[in-house]
Amino acid sequence: MNKALLEQVIEICVNAGEAILEVYHSSTELEVDTKADNSPVTAADLAAHKILAPALAQLIEGVPVLSEEQEIPSFEERSRWQRYWIVDPLDGTKEFIRRTGEFTVNVALIDNGEPVLGVVYVPVLDITYAGCKGNGAFKRTESGETDIHVRPLKPRLAAGEAVELVASRSHGAGAVDELVERIESKLGTAVCKNMGSSLKLCLVAEGAADLYPRLAPTCEWDTAAAQAVVEAAGGTVVDDQFQLLRYNSKDSLLNPYFYVIGDTSFGWQELLASKYTVN
C-alpha cells in the first residue's frame, strides 16, 4: 500500500472536513433528522458524503464505496467484494450536534476483510491520523507530522503508573465501570477518560491510552479507519472472543463488542475475557 494513495485519501478527507465545518460554524440553526435506526443525521453528514463517495470511487478502478449515508447493498452483492472503501462521513454526529468538536471523517480501504489503509481526520482541530499496512502510522498537525506507536504497559505498571482507558461518553458505561474495577483489582490504579467518535481508537494508536473497551453496539464504518491506524501503529482490535475484528463477513454491519489494545505483549485476554454485565 503506497504513501501516494494514502495522501490522496487524506486530501479527500480534509475536503470533506471543510464541508462539515461550513455547517458547524454556520449561523443558521442546525437541523437534525432521524434515520430509520433512530440515529441522527445532519446536513454536514450528507455534505461530507457527497464529497467522499465520488472522489474515492475514482481512486482505484473497480473498487466500490460503502458509506453510512447511502443505501446499503445486499450481502449477496457485498460478499463478492474483495476490496472496497468503507466510509463514515461524520463519525460522532451526536458530538457534532453538542458542538464538542469530538467528531471525525473516517475512510478505510478493506482488503479481504482486513482494514489495510485508514484515515481519521478531525476537522475542528485540523488533525489527521493515518496508517497503512506495512508502512506504519502517523499523526499530522499544523506543526508537522510525527510517527505514532502504541506504548508498552509493563514498564508503566512497574513504575506504579495507572492503566489508562478511553471509553464512549454515550454508550456502555455500566460494563466499562465494571471492567475498570476488575482492572484495578488486578493491576492497580485505572483511570478512564470519556470521549466521542473514533478518536478513542486513535488515542490508543498514538500511545496516549492503553485500552479502549467497546461494550456497546457500533457499525463497521465506525471502526474500520481507526482500526487500520491502530494496527499500523502496532496495536490490535479484537472482539469479545479475542478474534481479530474483521469486515464484510456477514449480512449485518454491526460489530461485536471489541477491545482496542495497545500493548499486544501484555496478557489482556484472561482479564478481559471474564464475564461482564451490561447495566
Q: Give bridge partners of residue 88 from the DSSP assignment.
A: 106
147 assigned ligand-binding residue: no
Which of helix, strand or coil describes residue 211? strand
CA 157 – CA 169 distance, rounded (Å): 26
Q: Give bridge partners of residue 124 from the DSSP assignment.
A: none
Cα atoms found within 13 Å of the Cα of residue 67, Cβ hemisphere only: 20
Q: Name the residue with cell 500500500.
A: 1
100 assigned ligand-binding residue: no
Residue type, 106: N
93 assigned ligand-binding residue: yes
92 assigned ligand-binding residue: yes
Residue type, 118: G
164 assigned ligand-binding residue: no
8 A C-beta contact, residue 99 and residue 105: no
CA 176 – CA 72 distance, rounded (Å): 31
CA 17 – CA 44 distance, rounded (Å): 9
**Which set of grid coordinates corresponds to residue 176?**
466499562
Per DSSP, helices labelled H in 25-163 are 43-57, 75-78, 93-98, 154-158
Q: What is the DSSP letter of 203?
A: H
**Which set of grid coordinates corresponds to residue 25?**
460554524
Distances (CA, A) of 98 to 93, 193, 269: 9, 18, 36
Annotated binding-site ranges for substrate:
68, 90-93, 222
Binding residues for Mg(2+): 68, 88, 90-91, 222
Annotated binding-site members? 68, 88, 90-93, 222
